[in-house]
Structure 1
């Protein structure tokens, strides 16, 4: 029986290599397209789901939306950074939707209608919230924790969405954005956020290179002048980096910053000094108070903490943590095996847990056929 804190990640990684999987903890992408009722033309998108996602589970996931899917080098770097940080327990499993733009339409999609008349940002905004986010929530069970990621013109657009829809987004990552169009100053719009009363923290992260030194100076001044503790603004300047290098340079730190509070909460629970299984509830409430939404702890942290209690011979607490693990990851059937082991140590009846294990394993899409056979042998 696997008792290593991160053994699951290794098993998943190996199994995905065997089936040619592109990612460590995400399923292969789903490419699709539909005609936007707001923009009036077809938009191509890709949907990437976590490896534990199942249509018959009610679990909800954070939503990350990435623009400019057509720019494969920067887009793939962003996706693989998300995958890497998720596998490294540094951010939670999320639903990722990437949106492609035709280069002949891209700039107009990000331009404000207050600038040139060809600007369609207001229609693109409706496409984003009424079509893409609605699809993510109704078909794929995305939560209302939403992160928007955009580069260049779409860095400008996502910044505008942060100022206009701050109650409907959790975070924006703007990679080498500029802040001004004709008749539009996003610096003024960001500054105005200081006056808002916000119940939860909102994150704006930027990375700027050599092309926009004045924009960097302007946003740094705003950052330094903001006194609203719920508006968390920060970024990085790469004075000698070219425009197309900024997504790769900036994305990792930005994601780390946004999910750092989540990471602190789960490490507090995982830490060997924590001897309370019920501390989980307090930490969950901390996250809801901070982000406005709950974010599930990682499989590795919950499983590892269960084994920590087990190895301390605190079997009931181990059972409590593994039950929480099953609640958050219903397709992670092997946690029932760990509960059975702990129940045996306490001389408890395991028959009901065995039934739950077999039922869960039958429905789970998390494991391959061979992995399911192996898990069944562990009942003996």
Structure 2
């Protein structure tokens, strides 16, 4: 039993380490022409570490106000950390540099130019990225302040395209005059909540937050609390929205807690929890293949597309099958792992172990040789020699 726990711990650690996706120095930028605005826009982009080496299509995370380097870098770091801990899936992350943020993001004051910018996002940018990169069609918009107002309006205007939104200290009641909670965006939210059937509303994922300290959030909190009350009154049982009220935080500090909270909320249905794994590995209450199939089905239902589960979900369940002498099931899972990670030496080594257990030494050697060809260090020569002696 003790050996099992040690092996399990090592497998979990290995899987987590292999999940780290974004190198913070792996940044790039490009420009794209906006037809609706008649100008060139600058976009920062970061790809998953193993992009192009695995058979995956990725969610897209879009941050506005990327000219704010502290906001952009913190968002990048947060995505990196949450990917490493398997709380969110690997994703393509872009940041949009605002040319004139008031005209582009402020729907309340500059409705026409804000909608032009939104059309650029929906048409020019999304189409460009879809043609050039491996996207799976699930987009998450992140906006702070006026950006929070903008991403909320994006969801309300094009709910079938922008199903996932994180609004941080959003200017939902802007301009805030005499603390009157009234704005075009709040009226639009109210209409959407009241007139959207639960079946359609359940496909949205809306996270919004505010602090209560400082001049800006002392006003913006009124709009956020109003929206919270509308959602509680009309959609009290929905799990697809969440409001965080961070007392003691101000407009500039709220993103520090909102970004991880929002991303974890958005991708909660993807997260492969430790309790789900332990239900199989420790308590033997479920079958790994059934668990993975059920989880994949739930992901497609929640996100409208498949998002590949983390490496260690397959690896540790294959190891579980091997430990319990179920080589047929172990081989099936390993083939799924190899399909997702065709350049991973660990997956080839795992298949060699499966084939060895089945007595197929000849093919086990071939998989170990393949593993060695994929590895940058000499890890498998001794194992190959021992198998050949058999």
Under TM normalisation by the shorter chain, which class is it? Answer: 0.7 to 0.9
Partner of 1:137: 130
TM-score, scaled relative to structure 1: 0.84
- Shifted more, 283-292 versus 329-338: the winner is 329-338
Partner of 2:104: 109
Q: 2:205 aligned to 203, 206, 226, which one?
A: 203
| Structure 1 residues 31 and 74: alpha-carbon distance in aligned structure 2, compared to 1, 3 A threshold | same
Q: How far apart are the structure 2 equivalents of 1:143 and 1:106?
A: 29
Q: 2:265 aligned to 237, 257, 265, which one?
A: 257
Q: How far apart are the structure 2 equivalents of 1:259 and 1:375?
A: 37
Q: How far apart are the structure 1 equivalents of 2:341 and 2:299?
A: 18
Pair 1:285 & 2:287 matched: no
Report the secondary structure of 1:85's partner residue: helix
Partner of 2:178: none
| Structure 1 residues 326 and 208: alpha-carbon distance in aligned structure 2, compared to 1, 3 A threshold | same
Q: 1:125 aligned to 118, 132, 155, which one?
A: 118
Q: How far apart are the structure 1 equivalents of 2:295 and 2:326?
A: 21
| Structure 1 residues 161 and 377: alpha-carbon distance in aligned structure 2, compared to 1, 3 A threshold | farther
- Shifted more, 344-353 versus 285-294: the winner is 344-353
Partner of 1:89: 86
- Shifted more, 332-341 versus 82-91: the winner is 332-341
Tell me the CA shift for residue 150 of structure 1.
0.5
Tell me the CA shift for residue 7 of structure 1.
1.6
Q: How does 1:1-380 map to 2 (within 5 A)?
A: 4-10=11-17, 22-23=23-24, 28-54=26-52, 59-102=56-99, 105-112=100-107, 115-116=109-110, 119-180=112-173, 185-194=184-193, 195-197=195-197, 198-199=199-200, 200-210=202-212, 211=217, 212-227=220-235, 232-264=240-272, 268=276, 271=279, 272=281, 273=284, 274-348=286-360, 350-351=362-363, 354=366, 358=370, 370-371=376-377, 373-374=378-379, 379-380=384-385
Report the secondary structure of 1:166's partner residue: coil
Residues 336 and 354 in structure 1, CA contact (< 8 A), matched pair in contact too: no
Residues 340 and 350 in structure 1, CA contact (< 8 A), matched pair in contact too: no
Q: How far apart are the structure 1 equivalents of 2:110 and 2:96?
A: 23
Tell me the CA shift for residue 181 of structure 1.
5.0
Residues 331 and 361 in structure 1, CA contact (< 8 A), matched pair in contact too: no
**Which has the larger Rg?**
2
| Structure 1 residues 8 and 268: alpha-carbon distance in aligned structure 2, compared to 1, 3 A threshold | closer
Report the secondary structure of 1:277's partner residue: helix
Question: 1:220-255: CA deviations, max 9, x gaps?
Answer: 212212238667221111233221111112111111
Residues 315 and 342 in structure 1, CA contact (< 8 A), matched pair in contact too: yes
Tell me the CA shift for residue 353 of structure 1.
8.4
Report the secondary structure of 1:205's partner residue: strand
Residues 209 and 238 in structure 1, CA contact (< 8 A), matched pair in contact too: yes
TM-score, scaled relative to structure 2: 0.82
Q: How far apart are the structure 2 equivalents of 1:347 and 1:287?
A: 37
Tell me the CA shift for residue 89 of structure 1.
1.1
Q: How far apart are the structure 2 equivalents of 1:332 and 1:58?
A: 11
Report the secondary structure of 1:143's partner residue: strand
| Structure 1 residues 60 and 10: alpha-carbon distance in aligned structure 2, compared to 1, 3 A threshold | closer
Q: How far apart are the structure 2 equivalents of 1:9 and 1:234?
A: 27
Report the secondary structure of 2:269's partner residue: helix
Tell me the CA shift for residue 283 of structure 1.
2.0
Partner of 2:388: none
Residues 209 and 240 in structure 1, CA contact (< 8 A), matched pair in contact too: yes
Cα RMSD of the aligned pairs, angstroms, is 3.1
Q: How far apart are the structure 2 equivalents of 1:242 and 1:329?
A: 43
- Shifted more, 164-173 versus 280-289: the winner is 280-289
Tell me the CA shift for residue 334 of structure 1.
2.5
